[in-house]
Structure 1
Amino acid sequence: MKIRQKIMCSSVAAAMAVLSAPAWAQVKPSDEIEVVKVTAQKRKEDPAKVAMSITAVTGAQLQAEHVNDFTDLTRVVPNISFTAASGNGGAGPGTENIEIRGISSTAGAATVGIYLGDVSITVGNVYTMGTVEPKFFDIDRVEVLRGPQATLYGASSMGGTIKFVPNEPDLKEREFSTYGELSNTKGGSGNYAANMVANFPLIPDELALRIGVQAQHTGGYINQVDGDGKNLASNINKLSDQEMRMALKWKPIRSVTITPSVYYQKVDAKDIAAFNLDRPNYQAQKQVREPSKDTLLTPSVTVNWDLGAMDLTSATSYFERKFDRTQNGSAYNSYSLSTFLTSTDDGGKAPPELIAAIAGLPSAVYLNNQVRQVSQEFRLASRPYDAAVSPWTWLAGTYFSNQHTNIIENDPIFGVTDTFKSFGFDIADPDLLPGARPGQFPGDNSFAGAFHFREKQSSVFGEVNYYFTPTVHATVGARYLKADSTLDQRNGNYLAGAGNNSSASSSSKAFTPKYALTWEVNPTNTVYTSVAKGFRLGGNNIYVPPTTCSQDLEANGLTKGPDSYSADSLWSYEVGSKSRFLNNRLTVNADVFYVKWKNIQQGVYLPTCAYTYNANAGDATSKGFEFDIKAKPLPGLTLTASAGYVKAELSNDEGSRNGVVGAVAGAQVQGVPKYNAAFNATYNFAVFGDKSAFVMGGMQWVGASKGSLNPAQTDYQRPAYHTADFSAGMAFDRYNVSVFVKNAFDNDTVIQHPQVASIVQGYRLAPRSIGVSVAAKF
C-alpha cells in the first residue's frame, strides 16, 4: 500500500517535480506523462521499445509514497505476490519469497532474481531464509521485469527480475537533501524515518563522492499474552533498521568511468507480526519471543570503458548476508519429543502427566545464517542502433560466482532434563524414550546442526538484434550455464535420530534461449512478441533421520530422504503492446502470457517428525494478462489504473504421487493471488498565489489465493482484501511538508493463517497509520 508502480506513479512524479527542486514553487505540472528510462537489457533505453513487460518506479516516487518494503510492492504492481519461505514456523522480516506471474515455490532455488545495481543478491529457499530485502534508500529507480530473464540475468530469474538501481554520484552538482517522517499506528507505537544524502564533486567533471545514511523505526501492534490473556509485553513486533551507502565516481579519462560503492543495511526485528486466531485481534500467546537481526553488506566496483565501436563493462562484487533469528519451537520440538515417549496407557513407562509436562515446555530454534558471494561479470555491448551504420546491435558477456551459505541450528527445550528428573526418570532411558542414550540433550539441546552449502556458477551469454527495417527488429539471445553445488552437514542430539555427518554434491547445466520480435508501428505505438526459457538450479537436501521419520518416509515409498533434487525449467510465451496517445497525455500498456513449467521443485513435509525435503514433483501452467493505463486529462490531474490476472495451476498429479499432499492436476499454485489491481489520482494546484500543493488518493485490491496445496491446512483459503491511502502536501521555498494516512479505512482482514503444529497463527494488514513528513533539498 506504500508503493505505486511506474504505471500508477506518474501522478506522484508530477507532485515531486513540483516539490523537489529549488524553484519548485514556480514549476507547473507537465502536461506529458513522465518516461522513466530502464536498463532491463543492460543498456539505458525507453521501456516502450523493450520487448517485455516492465514496471519502473523512481526514487522520488518511492519517497512520496512512504516506501519501506517489498510487501507493498506486491499489492500494487501487477502479478507479483509474496509468501513465507518453507519451514519458517511463521513469517517475519527476511523470510518472505517474491513470485512473479504465478511462478511460486517455497522450496529449492529462488524463482525471482534480485539485483542491487549490478550485484546479484539472489539467495535460495535454503532452510529458513527468504528473499534479501534491500530498503528503498537513495535509489534512482526500481525496475520490475516480468517473464523469464535467464539470458541476461541467469538462473532463478524464472518469473522475472527485480532491480534496485542506486543513484550515481553527480560529477557537476553539489547537493544535500534530507527527509524525515513521523507517524503513529492505531493501537500500536510510533514510527519514524530520517535520512540524509550528500553529493560532492571533488574534482569537477572527474571525481565525485555520494554518501547517505538512514535510520527507521516501525512501531509494533502485537501484544504478547499468557494463557489467561494477561499482557506480558506490548507492541512486540517493533522493527528498526539502519542503512548507509557510499559511492565514488571517477573519470580518469573521458572514455573510462570507475564507480566503487558500498551498501550496508541492518534490520533488527524484536518479534514477528503473528497473533493467535483464537485470541482477540493482535494478541499472541507464545512462550518464546522470536527476534531477528538481518545484516547486508555489498561492496562493488563497476568499470565502464568506451572503446569507440563498443562499450566494455566490468562488474566485480562481494555480497554478504548475516541473518540470526529465533523461532518459537515450543509447538513442535516439545510436542514432537512428547510423542516419542512410551505411554503407560500403552504398556510403556511414561505417565500421562510427564507426557503433558514435556509437551508444555518452552523451546527455541536458534538459527545463525550467513551467505557470502563473490561474483564477476564482463560484458561488451555495441552502439545503439543506427540505420546508417549497421542493421545489427549486440551484447555479449561472461559471469562467474562463488556462493557459500552456512547455517547453524540449535533447538533447546528449556528445562527438559529437570522435568524428567522431577518425575523420577532418566532422560537417557531407552525404555522411556526409544533410542535415547546419554549425552543426547547437552544443555537441554534437543537438536544441533551445522550445514555448509557451496554453489559455483559460470556462464556465457549474449543477445543479437537484427533490424529488417528501422521499425522492425528481431532479437535472439542465449545463455549457457554450468553450476556445481555441494552440501556438508553435521547434526546430532536426540531429535536428529542417530545423527549424521555427510557430504553430497550435484551439478547443473542449462541452455536458456530467448526469441523476440518488435514492431514500432509508429513512433508512439509498439507491439512485440517473445518466447523465453527460464531455469533454476538443483541442489542437495538436508539429512532426514530415517529413525524418527521412518513412518513418513515409508508413506512416500522411501527408506531415506533423497540426497538431492534436480533443476526445473519453463517456457514463457508473451504478446504485448505499448502505446502513447494525445501527445503523451495517455499511455496504455498491455500484454498476455502463457507459461509451461516442468519438474517443479517442491517441499515435501513429513508431519510426524516435522522435517521437510525437496523433490521434483509435477508440472504447472500459468496464464494471464497485465495492463496499465495512465492519463492526464486536465492540467495538474493525473489518473492511473493497473491490473493483473493470473491463473497458475498444476497440470498433473506427480506431486501427489511424490508425497506433496494436494499436488493434483488443477490445484492452484500456492501463494498466488488470482488478480490484483490499483487506482491512483493526484491533483497538483497552486495555493497562496505561487505555492505548489497536491492531494493524492489510491486504492489497491488483491485477490484470493491458496496458502497451501493441502485443502486440510488452515491457510488453504486466503481471502481477497483491499487497502486505501491518501496524502496531501505543500512546498515552502526549499521545504516540502506532507500529511498522509495508510490503510485509511483500517482494514483488518486476516490475509494469512498458517498452522504451526497445533497453533493457528494469523497475519492481518497493518492497522491504519497517520503521519507527517518533511523534506528539504539544498
Structure 2
Amino acid sequence: MGSAVAQTGQSEGDGADAPDDIVVTATKRSEALIDVPAAVTSLNADKLMAAGFTSFKDFAALVPGLQINNNLGGGVPVIRGLTQGADIGGPTTGIVVDGAPFGISSAYSNGAQDSLDLDPIDLERVEVLRGPQGTIFGANTLGGLISYTLRKPSLDGLEASARGEISDTKFGEMGGSIRASVSGGLAPGRAGLRVSGYWERQGGYIDNDLTGESNVNSSKRYGVSASLLLKPSDRLTILAAAFQQHVNIDGRDVVAYNVGLDPTPRNGQFRYNEYVVPSYKRRTSAGLLTVDYEFDWATFTSLTSYQRVKSFQVLNGTRGSLARTVSQTLPLFGGPAFPTPVILSLDFPATNQRTTQEFRLTSPNGGRFEWMVGVFHNDEKNRLLTNVNGVTPDLSPIPSLAPTLFFDLPTDLKEYSAFANGTYSLTDKLDLTLGVRVGTIKQGFRQRFGGSAAAAYNLLLTSVLQALPTPADTGRVASKESFETYLATLTYEFSPFATMYARYATGFRPGGPNLVVNGLPRSFEADETRNYEIGFKSNFPGGWGSAELIGYYLDWRNIQVTASAQGLSGYANGGRARNMGFEGSLILKPAAGLDIATTLAYADATIREARAGVAARGDRLPYTPRWSGSLSVTYTQPLAGDWEGLVNGVARFVGDRHGALAGSTSTADFLLDGYTMLDARIGVRKGNVELGLFVRNLTDRRAELSAYTRQGFPWVTIARPRTIGMSLGYSF
C-alpha cells in the first residue's frame, strides 16, 4: 500500500520537498535518480509485492519501452525492440544483481530464453535502464538492462514480514502464494543476517480435450535466500548472499491458432489439443560476494558472483516440416519406422555455469571530477542437448526412437575487459561524462550428432541434397574477438528540480563459432547498437510529482540472424534496423493520499537493410508496439480509529505487435492484437496488518501476449482470465 510502484524521481514521502529521495545505482554509484543522465525507471519492491507484481512479466507494462517475449523458456525482457522474436541467440537485455551480471552471454544453451527473474521478497528495488549499457555493464546490453538490488540484512534489532495470497481464476483453478522473511543484527552495528523464502502456485486454465486433462498449464515457483552483512570497521563492508529458485511450468499458457485469414483458436477457447504439451523446468543456484573498502580518496569494490542453472524444456514437434522429414522421409533412407499416430517431442536439457569477478575503484560523490575504473573477468561453461524423440500417446519414450536425432553442444566463453568513465563539471550546471570499455572474448564450441536416424539423415543429405554429412563429432572449434564500447553524455541542471541531458552510448552482443553445417559460415560476428538520446527530468517543487520525457534514435547494426542449411538452423550476420521514438512518464500527488502515475511510449522500429530470407526492408521488429502505456491511480484515506483504507486501479495498454519478422522464410509471422487490461485492488491497514481484495484482468480480456510459430502453426500465449483473490500481510 502506498504511492505509485514506478518512480522516475518523485518523493516517496507524503508531500516531502525532497528531490533526492529516490536513490539508484544505475551507474554503479549511488545517485539521486533525477541526476542520472539516462532513461531509468525505479520500482520499489515492497510496492511491487503489495500490488501482486511478482515477476518482470507483471511490471513490464509500467516501464516505457519494456515488453516481454515469453513464448519459449521462462520469458525474456525486450527493451526498445531489440529481438528477432524467436529467442534465438544470446540475450539483448542484460540482467545484473547488485551490479554482477547474471545469465548466459553465449548464443547457445538457450541464452535468450532464460532470464533471471527474482521474487520481490528478496529485493529492495528493481531498476530498468533503457538504451545500451555496454560501457558500464559489458556484453549483452544492446537494448538495456534490468538491475536487481538485494534487500540488505538489518544490523540492529529484529525485522520480520509474512504475506499470503489466495486466488481463483475464471475457467480455471485456485492458486496461492506465501512469502516470509526475517532479518536481525548478530552484533549491534557490525553484523546482520537475513533469510527469506517464497512459494507460489498459479492454477491452470487451459484444457486438453485430446487427453481429457483439465487445467494443464498450472505452474509453481519457489525459492530461498540468505544474506550476511558484516561491517568489521566503518570503512569495510562485506555482503555475502546466496539464493536458489525453482520454476516448474507443467504446461505453457498457449493455445493453438489457425493461420491465414482466420487467426482464431483452432480448437476453441482455452484449448491445447495435442499429446505433447510444452513444459519447462528450471533450477537456479547463485552466490554473490561484495567487499567494499572506503579509502579517503576512493572506494575499492570486489564483486564476485557464481551461478548454475539447470533447465529442461519440452516442445511439441508433431506438426510441421520436422515431423514430416523425420517420420515420412528418413524411413525411405533406412531410418526407423514410426508408429501411428506420429508424435514427436523436442527436449532441451541445458546446464549453464558462470563465474564473474570485478575489481573497481570509484571516487567519492560530489567532486568536480568523479571517476570510476575497473577490470572484469567472466568464465562460462554451458551445455545444450537437443533430442528429437518419438513417443507414445501417453508420452512414454519409444526405445528405438528416443532419441531419433540428437545434437549435443558443449560451449565455453571467457571475457577479459577493462572499463573507465569520468564526469567533469564544466560549470556549476553543465557536466560532461565520457566512458570506454575494451576487452577480448574467447569462445570454444563442440558439436556432437547422433541418434537412431542419424545415418538415414546423412544419407538423405549426401544422396539427394548433394550436401556434406553432419559430422558425429566436430572436435573443439575456437574463436576470439575484441570489442570496444563508448559513452558520452552532456548534462545541464536547470535547478535542483530539473535536468536535461544528451547521451550517446553503444552496446554489443558477442559473436562466436557456428554449427558445423555445409552452407553456414564457420563463425558469426558480434552485432552492436548505437543510441542517440535526449532526455528531460523534473521533480515538481513541493513534492507533488515528477515528469520525464525522452527521445531516442537506436541504430542496430550487423544483426545476428538465424540461417538455415541442411534442415538445421545456425547463425549469420546481416541487416540493419533502427528504432526511433519517445518515452514519457508523469507522476502526480494532487491531494493528500492521492497518487497518479502514467506512462506513454511510441516506437517506430523497422528493418532498414535486410538479409534475404530473414527479413524485408520495412519489417517491424517483433514485440514492439507502436504505442503502449499505463495509468495507475491510488487513493489512501484514514478510516475509523487507526484503520487506513486504500483503493488502487491499474490500466495497461499495448498496441499490436508482430511475433516474428514478416519477411522471414523460416519463421512465420503472427500479428498479435493490441489490448488493454485492468487490475483493481481495495485494502485496509492497521498498524502492521494489511488485508486486501484484488481482481486482475478485470474485464476478462483474451489478450494475446506472444506467438511461437516455428513448429508449423502458431502457439499463442493467452493472458490469464479474470482472477479474483485476497491477500493478508503482517510485518514488524
Deviation, 1:762, is 2.3
Deviation, 1:237, is 0.8
Counterpart contact for 2:658–2:669, Cα < 8 Å: yes
Give the counterpart letter for 1:78 in structure 2: P
Cross-structure match for 2:643: 691
Q: Does the C-alpha gap of structure 1 residues 308 and 341 become closer, same or farther in structure 2, counting only changes over 3 Å?
A: closer
Give the counterpart letter for 2:359 in structure 1: F
Alignment of 1:300 with 2:273, yes or no, is no
Secondary structure (helix, strand or coil) at the match of 2:160 reads strand
Counterpart contact for 1:566–1:616, Cα < 8 Å: yes
Matches within 5 A, 1:576-595: 576-595=535-554
Alignment of 1:251 with 2:231, yes or no, is yes
Cross-structure match for 1:720: 674
Give the counterpart letter for 2:83 in structure 1: S
Deviation, 1:119, is 2.5
Q: Does the C-alpha gap of structure 1 residues 584 and 10 become closer, same or farther in structure 2, counting only changes over 3 Å?
A: closer
Q: Does the C-alpha gap of structure 1 residues 363 and 9 become closer, same or farther in structure 2, counting only changes over 3 Å?
A: farther
Tell me the distance in 2 between the aligned counterparts of 1:208 and 1:752: 43
Counterpart contact for 2:531–2:553, Cα < 8 Å: yes
Secondary structure (helix, strand or coil) at the match of 2:208 reads strand
Tell me the distance in 2 between the aligned counterparts of 1:616 and 1:334: 28
Deviation, 1:312, is 0.3
Counterpart contact for 1:83–1:97, Cα < 8 Å: yes
Counterpart contact for 2:19–2:497, Cα < 8 Å: no
Matches within 5 A, 1:544-559: 544=517, 559=518
Q: Does the C-alpha gap of structure 1 residues 50 and 702 become closer, same or farther in structure 2, counting only changes over 3 Å?
A: same
Deviates more, 1:459-468 or 1:280-289: 280-289
Tell me the distance in 2 between the aligned counterparts of 1:466 and 1:284: 59
Deviation, 1:234, is 1.0
Q: Does the C-alpha gap of structure 1 residues 338 and 443 become closer, same or farther in structure 2, counting only changes over 3 Å?
A: closer
1:390-423 per-position Cα deviation (integer Å, ceiling 9, x unaligned)? x21100101001011111232221369xxxxxxx
Cross-structure match for 1:133: 116
Tell me the distance in 2 between the aligned counterparts of 1:339 and 1:366: 21
Cross-structure match for 2:440: 482
Tell me the distance in 1 between the aligned counterparts of 2:90 and 2:707: 25
Tell me the distance in 1 between the aligned counterparts of 2:146 and 2:222: 22
The match for 2:522 among 560, 563, 568 is 563
Cross-structure match for 2:260: none
Tell me the distance in 1 between the aligned counterparts of 2:17 and 2:682: 20
Cross-structure match for 1:97: 76
Secondary structure (helix, strand or coil) at the match of 1:252 reads coil
Tell me the distance in 2 between the aligned counterparts of 1:504 and 1:706: 36
Deviation, 1:443, is 5.0
Deviation, 1:116, is 1.8
Counterpart contact for 1:207–1:249, Cα < 8 Å: yes
Alignment of 1:242 with 2:215, yes or no, is no
Secondary structure (helix, strand or coil) at the match of 2:349 reads strand
Deviation, 1:749, is 2.9
Cross-structure match for 1:112: 93
Counterpart contact for 2:40–2:128, Cα < 8 Å: yes
Matches within 5 A, 1:531-546: 531-544=504-517
Cross-structure match for 1:707: 659
Cross-structure match for 1:633: 590
1:672-703 per-position Cα deviation (integer Å, ceiling 9, x unaligned)? 22221001111110111431111011111001
Counterpart contact for 2:8–2:546, Cα < 8 Å: no
1:229-265 per-position Cα deviation (integer Å, ceiling 9, x unaligned)? xx52111111111111100011112210111110110
Cross-structure match for 1:424: none
Secondary structure (helix, strand or coil) at the match of 1:288 reads coil
Counterpart contact for 2:73–2:114, Cα < 8 Å: no
Secondary structure (helix, strand or coil) at the match of 1:284 reads coil
1:626-680 per-position Cα deviation (integer Å, ceiling 9, x unaligned)? 0100111111111111111111111123x12xx31xx122111122222210011
Deviation, 1:368, is 1.3
User: What runs of 5+ residues in structure 1 fail to find an aligned partner?
Assistant: 15-27, 85-90, 417-439, 545-558
User: What runs of 5+ residues in structure 2 fail to find an aligned partner?
Assistant: 257-264, 459-468
Deviation, 1:734, is 2.1
1:141-199 per-position Cα deviation (integer Å, ceiling 9, x unaligned)? 00001111111100111111100111011212310111111111111111111111001
Deviation, 1:605, is 4.6
Alignment of 1:612 with 2:585, yes or no, is no
Q: Does the C-alpha gap of structure 1 residues 49 and 499 become closer, same or farther in structure 2, counting only changes over 3 Å?
A: same
1:179-232 per-position Cα deviation (integer Å, ceiling 9, x unaligned)? 111111111111111111001200000111011111111111111121xxxx52
Tell me the distance in 1 between the aligned counterparts of 2:351 and 2:102: 13
1:570-601 per-position Cα deviation (integer Å, ceiling 9, x unaligned)? 21111111112242212111110011221100
Cross-structure match for 1:261: 241
Alignment of 1:375 with 2:361, yes or no, is no
Give the counterpart letter for 2:495 in structure 1: N
Tell me the distance in 2 between the aligned counterparts of 1:8 and 1:254: 32
Q: Does the C-alpha gap of structure 1 residues 530 and 753 become closer, same or farther in structure 2, counting only changes over 3 Å?
A: closer
Tell me the distance in 1 between the aligned counterparts of 2:443 and 2:418: 19
Cross-structure match for 2:420: 462
1:17-56 per-position Cα deviation (integer Å, ceiling 9, x unaligned)? xxxxxxxxxxx78687894210001111111001101000
TM-score normalised to structure 1 length: 0.85
Give the counterpart letter for 2:290 in structure 1: T
Deviation, 1:739, is 0.8
TM-score normalised to structure 2 length: 0.90
Cross-structure match for 1:161: 145
Counterpart contact for 1:31–1:635, Cα < 8 Å: no
Counterpart contact for 2:681–2:693, Cα < 8 Å: yes
Tell me the distance in 1 between the aligned counterparts of 2:484 and 2:305: 25
Tell me the distance in 2 between the aligned counterparts of 1:598 and 1:214: 42
**What is the percent sequence identity of the aligned residues?**
25
Counterpart contact for 2:173–2:215, Cα < 8 Å: yes
Secondary structure (helix, strand or coil) at the match of 1:224 reads coil
Matches within 5 A, 1:61-460: 61-84=47-70, 91-94=71-74, 96-105=75-84, 106-123=87-104, 124-126=106-108, 128-129=110-111, 130-136=113-119, 137-226=121-210, 232-276=212-256, 277-332=265-320, 333-340=322-329, 360-386=341-367, 391-414=368-391, 442=400, 444-460=402-418
The match for 2:43 among 57, 63, 87 is 57
Counterpart contact for 2:77–2:115, Cα < 8 Å: no
State the number of aligned residues.
695
Counterpart contact for 1:504–1:563, Cα < 8 Å: no
Secondary structure (helix, strand or coil) at the match of 1:134 reads coil
Counterpart contact for 1:108–1:539, Cα < 8 Å: no
Counterpart contact for 2:577–2:606, Cα < 8 Å: yes
Give the counterpart letter for 1:673 in structure 2: P
Tell me the distance in 2 between the aligned counterparts of 1:592 and 1:315: 34
Tell me the distance in 1 between the aligned counterparts of 2:419 and 2:8: 34
Computing the radius of gyration from Cα coordinates, the structure with the larger value is 1
Secondary structure (helix, strand or coil) at the match of 1:576 reads strand
Cross-structure match for 2:461: none
Deviation, 1:756, is 4.2
The match for 1:597 among 551, 556, 572 is 556
